[in-house]
Amino acid sequence: MSPNPSHDRRELERTLTGLGIEPASHRVLMLLPLVYVAWADGHMEHVEVERIRRFARERLHFTADTAKVLDRWLRTAPTREYVERGLQELLGVALDEEMLEVDVSELPDLLLHAESIARATAETLDDPNAVTPEEEQALLEVARLLAIDGGATWKKLLDGLRTVRPPPPG
């Protein structure tokens, strides 16, 4: 528990304002891992945009301010520094027992959703082999920044299985 919750709240508000986010819309930070992974390969595919928007509608209290921030992130990739700062703030909010808006148990789920964004392409909606090396690196960074253990993706697991078991003759 933090010794001075009002100080933490003021610090959160300053950081959010610096990120261009209204303090009341701070749950928009939960979209940042998805956006970061989607931009990791240098472009944002239509199917990625749709999945991110659907996640936002289903999981967030979607306000005009939230939509404005998301639209900005979908138009222009946030910088790595911005993402690091935003994810550190998200982790801080999740770990703070005084702030009940984000639960730490939600963070691993964000990584799973970010991975599903990486697996979505125009050709296929869920191909573990579609995860690019850049997206793989972004997933590992998100896992590290959110202190989530086990950043292994399905692609990595399948690659490991292929090396253990030879392909069928054919």
What is the full DSSP assignment across 66-117?
Answer: HHHHHHHHHHSPPPHHHHHHHHHHHHHHHH-TT--SS-GGGHHHHHHHHHHH
pLDDT one-digit tens code per residue, 130-142: 788 898 899 989 9
Mean pLDDT, residues 39-47 taken together: 91
pLDDT of residue 169: 56
Residue 169 DSSP one-character state: P
For residue 113, pLDDT over 50 is answered with: yes
Cα 119 to Cα 114: distance, rounded to the nearest angstrom: 9
pTM above 0.85, yes or no: no
Q: What's the pLDDT band for 123 if we cut at 50, 70, 90?
A: low
